[in-house]
Every structure is written in structure tokens, then in C-alpha cells.
């Protein structure tokens, strides 16, 4: 996404086309809402923002998945369906969470799990 944005900006500048910065902006992440969802679904029982608990730290997840194609889709599937062997021997159980709520949490994690 970032490479595409840079390409489009370069193209707009080189052709003299003015473009609004908001057209190329990443979607805003509602950190408060994402934390609320993660709390509601007990995600913090196994994950922390900056240290490994039972599962990996959210910041480690961001490092591994940022820039990978289909990262959001992959991580949403891991949340909803569970996974095993991705971060070691301890499996992640499936979670009863909506697609939309899972995407909100994943986008927050990939954006660095900021607390503000």
C-alpha cells in the first residue's frame, strides 16, 4: 500500500496533477475502539502490546506481518478460526468475534498498537 501510494504521488507530481493528501492516506485506526474490542474478547489474557505472554506481543506481530500481502486477511482468519504452529507450540484458539471487530483489532496491531 505504501509503495503504491508513493508511485501514485510520484506520477501525480511528474504529470502536474494535483492530488489531495487525504486520497492517499492510510485508514485511521481508532485505538480506543480497538483496545475496547480486545478487552471485550479477552485478547489481553494471552497478548500484551510490547512483551510475549502466552502469545506473541502485538508489536512482534506487526513486525512479522507489516508489508505482507493479505496480512489483514490472514490475521483476521487466525483470530476467528484459531491457528497453531505460527508462533510456537501453543495454539491460538478460535474467537467468536465479528469480521469487522477482528479487522479493527488487526489494523490497530499492524499500526503499532498505539495506546492513544
**CB atoms inside a 10 Å sphere around CB 54:** 12
Q: In this structure, are residues 91 and 69 in contact, taking their beta carbons and an 8 Å threshold?
A: no
Q: What's the Cα-to-Cα distance from 2 to each of 16, 88, 109, rounded to whole Å?
A: 21, 30, 17
Cα–Cα nearest to 33, from 102, 112, 110, 94: 102
Binding site feature residues for heme c: 43, 47, 92
Binding site feature residues: 43, 47, 92
Largest separation between any pair of C-alpha atoms in the chain: 54
Amino acid at each position: 500500500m505504501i509503495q503504491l501510494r508513493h508511485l501514485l504521488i510520484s506520477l501525480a507530481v511528474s504529470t502536474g496533477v494535483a492530488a489531495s493528501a487525504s486520497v492517499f492516506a492510510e485508514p485511521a485506526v481508532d485505538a480506543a475502539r480497538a483496545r475496547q474490542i480486545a478487552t471485550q474478547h479477552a485478547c489481553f489474557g494471552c497478548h500484551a502490546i510490547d512483551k510475549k505472554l502466552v502469545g506473541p506481543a502485538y508489536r512482534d506481530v506487526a513486525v512479522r506481518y507489516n508489508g505482507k500481502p493479505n496480512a489483514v486477511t490472514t490475521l483476521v482468519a487466525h483470530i476467528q478460526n484459531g491457528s497453531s504452529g505460527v508462533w510456537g507450540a501453543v495454539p491460538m484458539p478460535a474467537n467468536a468475534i465479528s469480521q469487522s471487530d477482528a479487522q479493527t483489532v488487526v489494523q490497530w496491531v499492524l499500526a503499532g498498537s498505539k495506546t492513544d
